[in-house]
Amino acid sequence: MVRLVRRGSVAACLMLSGMIATAGAETPPESPVERGRALVNGIVACGNCHTPQGPNGPVAGRELAGGTPFVEEPFTAYASNITPDPETGIGRWTDEQLIAAIREGRRPDGSLIGPPMPFGFYRGLSDGDLRAIVAYLRSVPPVRHSVPKSEYRMALPAAYGPPVGSVAEIPRTDPVTYGAYMAGPLGHCMECHTPMLPDGRLDMTRMGAGGRNFTGPWGNAVSRNITQDKEHGLGGWTDAEIRKAITEGVRPDGHRLSPPMGYHYYKSMSDGELGALVAYLRTLPPTR
Ligand code: HEC
Ligand code: HEC
């Protein structure tokens, strides 16, 4: 539809921009690499785990070069180098191999990639978005960087689920639908903001209720309740206040929020994307 518009008709263009304005989304970027760049440097934020962090944020010239440790019982995991370096990165992997790694957690040699990469959500990435992410990974500068091997003192499952097959594109015309896709498969907001059951699975009946612990160089942070609960959640916040917390890490009372949430990535989301995300958060039933 968009391509058709680019070929010329002003009337169609106005109609489309009107439709998009009401939908709160915007014209999709041109190429898969552009879409992938917007996703990876925005809502998807692979670099929040895969780019080494210095005291002033991501280390320049080391984008996606890996090495960040995740020390959590029962594992010590190191984010992999996912730059196109052929020796220490993913330079020799085919597109299909990268897709299987991201969506199903399986390496080309058949071994399973361990936590904390959010495979439960990445299974829902659409075919087009996954290809865009892969196209973008291929475009970042290769960095030679060997990363220590992760140590899992637990048995990894045999697989994260049955083969995914194909996932259709999520329409960007309905903000709540697209916002749900952003908070789930794309941004895994709900991985961090949903409490865990004793068996380690997320308690989807309390989606967004928060309460998970994240320990790191920042100390200990507890994910907050982002449901519509008026007292403990975002029910009493304005849209602008929610946007500011997500993109700047500042609460309405001025309190600064801590990592590991990737505020500086979310800052680059477009107005339409943020609108869709907030529209979806507004639909989360109040949960204590
Ligand atoms: C919450 C942190 C986290 C996020 C977010 C994350 N990853 Fe990972 N990823 C890891 C860790 C840790 C490993 C290493 C796990 C292991 O050693 O088994 C890993 C491993 C990988 C591997 C396997 C590489 C290899 O050489 O074995 C690929 C490919 C990968 N990630 C791609 C991505 C992409 C693309 C994204 C964004 C769509 C992403 N990851 C988001 C933490 C994360
Ligand atoms: C890696 C884990 C992680 C991810 C991913 C994540 N968050 Fe958070 N978020 C947190 C933590 C932890 C806090 C609390 C930080 C603090 O208290 O300093 C937080 C705080 C917030 C707050 C502030 C709430 C309040 O009451 O102060 C909002 C809003 C929020 N997150 C929304 C989101 C949205 C929307 C996404 C997805 C785009 C997201 N988060 C992704 C971990 C995460």
Domain 175-281 maps to which CATH number in 3.90.1150, 1.10.760, 1.20.1740, 3.30.499?
1.10.760
Residue 190 tokens, joined: 């709900």
Residues with CB under 6 A from ligand 2: 43, 183, 187-189, 192-193, 214, 221, 223-224, 226, 234, 242, 245-246, 251, 257-258, 260-261, 266, 277
Q: Are 90 and 82 in contact (CB under 8 A)?
A: yes
Backbone angles phi, psi at 196, to 5 degrees: -100, 145
Tell how far the Cα of 224 is from the centroid of ligand 2, in angstroms: 6
Same fold, 32-152 and 175-281: yes
Tell how far the Cα of 97 is from the centroid of ligand 2, in angstroms: 31
Closest Cα to atom 17 of ligand 2: 257
Determine the pLDDT at residue 208: 98
Topology adopted by domain 32-152: Cytochrome Bc1 Complex; Chain D, domain 2 (1.10.760)
For the CA of 107, the nearest atom of ligand 1: 27
pTM: predicted TM-score of the whole model, two decimal places: 0.91
List Cα–Cα distances, 244 to 16, 47, 92, 170, 251, in angstroms: 29, 21, 40, 26, 7
The 10s digit of each residue's pLDDT in 91-103 is: 999 999 999 999 9
- Give the residue extent of every domain in the chain: 1-28, 32-152, 175-281
Closest Cα to atom 31 of ligand 1: 80
What is the rounded average pLDDT of the residues 187-196?
97
The 10s digit of each residue's pLDDT in 41-83 is: 999 999 999 999 888 888 999 999 999 999 988 999 999 999 9
Closest Cα to atom 8 of ligand 2: 261
Determine the pLDDT at residue 73: 87
How far apart are the C-alpha atoms of 94 and 97, rounded to whole Å? 5
How far apart are the C-alpha atoms of 119 and 21, rounded to whole Å? 32
Helix (H, G, I), strand (E, B) or coil at 243: helix
Q: Are 143 and 89 in contact (CB under 8 A)?
A: yes
Q: Please, which pLDDT band fits residue 23 given cuts at 50, 70 and 90?
A: very low
Percent of the chain with pLDDT over 70: 90
